[in-house]
Structure 1
Amino acid sequence: MKVPTCLLSLAVIAHLVHATIWQNDQARTTDYPVTVIDPSQYELQTYAPNATELSYKGRWDSKFISCAPGLKFGFTGEYVVITFGPYTTNATLIGYRIDGQDWQFTNVTANATHLLVSPSTAGINITTPITPSTFELRVTNWAYGIQIASVSVSKGERIVRIPNFDRTIEVIGDSLSAGQYATLEGLASYAYGLGAGLGNTEYTITAYPGICLFDKRCYGNLRGMFYQWYYASDVSGRAIEIYGDNPELWDFSKQPAADIVVINLGTNDANSANNVTTSGYVSQYTKLIEGVHTVYPNAQIILLSLWEGFGAVGNTYEQANAFVPEIYGIYEYFNSKEYLDQPVLYDHATNSTYISEHPTKPFVSYFNTTGLMQHNDIGPQYHPTDVGHVKVASHLIQYIKIKFGWILYATGPEVQHDTLYWNDMANY
């Protein structure tokens, strides 16, 4: 669960060893198109990164630098061009699409301009066009990031702000939520599958590989999520190079308040190499929940039980677990009469607790992940396969639908890319 330095998809690895991955009777494509252009050769209408028409998803700092969230806006015309600033990690793989089309991919470069939509883009010249079209961008790799320098469309055309959806979900986690070692990482994780799979939902994934919940150094991360959740940047080496010892506090008012917060933290804390005590874990988990509740007082918070992979036992496999009674005990505490009658809230700004003036209704739920995955749903690096992520996301979607009455709106546009596996060859 260390922070990746250069994560390669299974398809790329296969390419490097001159093998071929067959999918739908075709070789899997990983040589994504080169989209760099010379903008002087085009007539463009250019917008600064602070244009109000641009809707930034997830956490971006004041210089429009991000680790791996996204960008969304409407546009008229047939071109979308984005220039990436100097703080963009070279060769960062981004996914992008218009309207209900499938994700497209390209590797972007610092201080370069990329043509992402043109008249040849699928869906741009349909008979009954959607006006304006919607452009969406997501970064796949959670160790890399981009900086938006400008957004351009055809001369005489315009960009349009797309209103936010009426409901918002946030996932707080580590590499398991970030999608580390999944084929498309951030766009293959259960957290992304949950947010996108619900449909008509704003989603934020605050998750970093290797991070502990407890505020200490873990696998190269200088701080834990107990601290880091309040900041705009992540805990990667890239962030340290940019911000040094002065990261920007995250302004929670920049995004809609979360209606549901999913927390999946503790896998790295449970590793003996990181020396996190059980009492320390429980204490800071409790205060993190109180902090989240202070920022999002109307949010429902779902605590996920941890999955620790599978080990061979005799002639079968068994799932390992960690912090099982501790996480369930935290859930019980927040639903106890003791807490609800006199709720203690945590104020990060003053690093203190205070007593709320009014009793609160239960807002913490427990989601047991045991049994959702089997041993072949966990890859060699102890992280879910693409199928494993789909299983967790699917069960969470149904849990949220049943418990909170959320309607499922995802009825067409692609969610998980490159997971359309099928076989129509009868003789094999």
Structure 2
Amino acid sequence: MLPPSGLFLAGLALFSGLVESTILQNGQVRETSFKNTAVDIGAFSLKTYPPNATEISYQGRWDSKYVSWWSAPGLKFGYTGSQVAITFGRSTSPGVLVGYRIAGLDWQFTNVTGGQTHMLIGPDSPGVDLTGPINPMTFELRVTNWAFGIQIEAVHVGEGQKLVKLPNAPRRIEVIGDSLAAGMYTSYEGLSSWAYGVGAGLGNTDYSITAYPGICAADQDCWGNPRGQVHQWFYTSDTSWRATEAHGNNPEPWDFSKHPAADLVIINIGTNDQNSHNNVSAPVYIDALTKIVQGVHGKYPKAQVVVMSLWLGFSQTGNTYASVSSQGFVKEVQNMIRMFNSDKYLNNPTVYDGVTKTSSQTNKKTKPFVHLFNTTGILQHNDIAPQWHPTDVGAIKVASHLLQFIKMTFGWELEATGPEVFHETLYWNDEPSY
């Protein structure tokens, strides 16, 4: 999503990367203490694992060269000992900010650069000597910025120690979207997005966020994105300049067969389509959104699908605030969902493949599988930042409502046990009399 006035997405993305280790909060620089974790690997005795080690579980989308794409991609594994270091490949974006943590302890952050080794866990790391209830000790890393990525060249542990493969979580979700899901303009971007809040907030769930700012559902140029999600979702990389540099016009198709299928797919896309700047008609948008759902059904036959209604921000109207316009494609989306859940469709469903551009029939569904999550009333004007995207609190509100919707609709229990989800949102009043 971009504001009606039309900011230049690419310029904003580049600017956000140049201000290394800086977070602006209401125009003021927020104090941060990101540790410099770069080390001379030759000074340590370590056991080294290649990037394709079976003990490493990659989260989100990574290409065949172990380069990350889209929003909040990451990796996780168990380990023994008190040291974890990662050597980042040359395709790592310079100075990209990553979040990492031990077991269920709070997120730590550091800037990493290609060609360097970073000692992320050492004997002096807070909590490194703590034991239980998480056993073996686990390590998780996520890229914060949706525009940048990392390349894994090697993972190291202490000499005589080892990595431990962790089992896949019993539940898996994927979010498909644009800047609203990617976390654009929230403090830690991907790690402050509502999409991450849903995935991490569910607990005991693996999650992937296939979202990129400015992208449309329709397969056309939108705010500098050359392709829409009806095409790009089927590929490993996003629509960034990094992808053009890495793959040119031949991106790697995402091999769905090599990755666990999602149980639940959440789709929040169309805000860029409804913007008059991109000139996408309602029929073109609905055709693209329909094919995205058909693509999900083809790749994840057992998955439930949640389509979120759109929100477009607020402006002052007389003596109150009101939405700047209608939510966008409201009736069209409702009609599409009714079509998917009709007996006619369920008895003769169609799937779509965005790589081959072909549609085909598949086995009939036994019951409706597409659901509408109505976002009306969740966000108010102070939940939308001046650049037309949710504030940190706005993202938390969307995530909280969506978590309850998932629980009530699908019977998924909220199994998060206490580990931090949103970093640096612990606000409270210490003054009892004021």
1:13 matched to 2:24? The reply is yes
Q: 1 CA distance for matches of 2:47 and 2:177? A: 39
Deviations 1:52-82 (A, max 9, x none): 1100001100000012400000000000000
* Cα deviation, residue 337, structure 1: 2.2
TM-score after normalising by structure 2: 0.93
* Cα deviation, residue 11, structure 1: 6.5
Stretches (4+) displaced over 3 A: 8-15, 127-131, 347-350, 357-360
2:107 maps to 103
Deviations 1:207-235 (A, max 9, x none): 00110000011111110000000100111
2:413 maps to 407
Structure-2 change in CA distance of 1:133 and 1:127 (3 Å): closer
* Cα deviation, residue 198, structure 1: 0.4
Partners of 2:84 and 2:121 within 8 A in 1: yes
Deviations 1:145-198 (A, max 9, x none): 000000000000000111111110000000000000000000000000000000
1:253 maps to 257
Structure-2 change in CA distance of 1:314 and 1:138 (3 Å): same
Partners of 1:92 and 1:145 within 8 A in 2: yes
Structure-2 change in CA distance of 1:311 and 1:225 (3 Å): same
Partners of 2:78 and 2:137 within 8 A in 1: yes
Q: CA RMSD in A?
A: 1.8
Q: 2 CA distance for matches of 1:259 and 1:363? A: 11
Q: 2 CA distance for matches of 1:127 and 1:314? A: 58
1:316 matched to 2:311? The reply is no
Partners of 1:10 and 1:183 within 8 A in 2: no
* Cα deviation, residue 357, structure 1: 4.5
Q: 2 CA distance for matches of 1:91 and 1:85? A: 13
3-state SS of the aligned residue for 1:353? Answer: strand
1:364 maps to 370
1:24 maps to none
Deviations 1:378-425 (A, max 9, x none): 000100000000000001100010110001111210000000011112
Alignment: residue pair count = 419
1:188 maps to 192
1:425 maps to 431
Partners of 1:311 and 1:317 within 8 A in 2: yes
Partners of 2:76 and 2:141 within 8 A in 1: yes
Partners of 1:214 and 1:269 within 8 A in 2: yes
3-state SS of the aligned residue for 1:116? Answer: strand
3-state SS of the aligned residue for 2:271? Answer: coil
* Cα deviation, residue 359, structure 1: 4.6
Q: 2 CA distance for matches of 1:194 and 1:130? A: 22
**Aligned pair partner of 1:40 in 32, 39, 42:** 42
Q: 1 CA distance for matches of 2:164 and 2:233? A: 31
Q: 2 CA distance for matches of 1:245 and 1:345? A: 25
**Aligned pair partner of 1:350 in 356, 359, 362:** 356
Structure-2 change in CA distance of 1:129 and 1:262 (3 Å): closer
Structure-2 change in CA distance of 1:58 and 1:215 (3 Å): same
Q: 1 CA distance for matches of 2:352 and 2:232? A: 15
1:78 maps to 82
Partners of 2:346 and 2:364 within 8 A in 1: no
**Mean alpha-carbon deviation: is it higher for 121-130 or for 400-409?**
121-130
3-state SS of the aligned residue for 1:281? Answer: helix
**Mean alpha-carbon deviation: is it higher for 3-12 or for 235-244?**
3-12
Partners of 1:9 and 1:182 within 8 A in 2: no
1:374 matched to 2:380? The reply is yes
* Structure 2 letter corresponding to 1:294: G
Structure-2 change in CA distance of 1:49 and 1:11 (3 Å): closer
Structure-2 change in CA distance of 1:312 and 1:244 (3 Å): same
Deviations 1:232-290 (A, max 9, x none): 01110111111111110101123210000000000001111111111111111111111
User: What residue ranges of structure 2 are gaps of 5+ in the alignment?
Assistant: 3-8
3-state SS of the aligned residue for 2:273? Answer: coil
Structure-2 change in CA distance of 1:310 and 1:177 (3 Å): same
1:138 maps to 142
* Cα deviation, residue 346, structure 1: 1.9
3-state SS of the aligned residue for 1:56? Answer: strand
3-state SS of the aligned residue for 1:40? Answer: helix
Map 1:114-263 → 2, pairs under 5 A: 114-126=118-130, 130-263=134-267
Structure-2 change in CA distance of 1:129 and 1:375 (3 Å): closer
* Structure 2 letter corresponding to 1:79: Q
Partners of 1:343 and 1:360 within 8 A in 2: no
Identity, % of aligned positions: 56
1:341 matched to 2:347? The reply is yes
1:90 matched to 2:94? The reply is yes
* Structure 2 letter corresponding to 1:13: L
1:54 maps to 56
Q: 1 CA distance for matches of 2:371 and 2:390? A: 23
**Aligned pair partner of 1:398 in 398, 404, 407:** 404
* Cα deviation, residue 203, structure 1: 0.4
Structure-2 change in CA distance of 1:127 and 1:365 (3 Å): closer
Q: 1 CA distance for matches of 2:133 and 2:388? A: 45
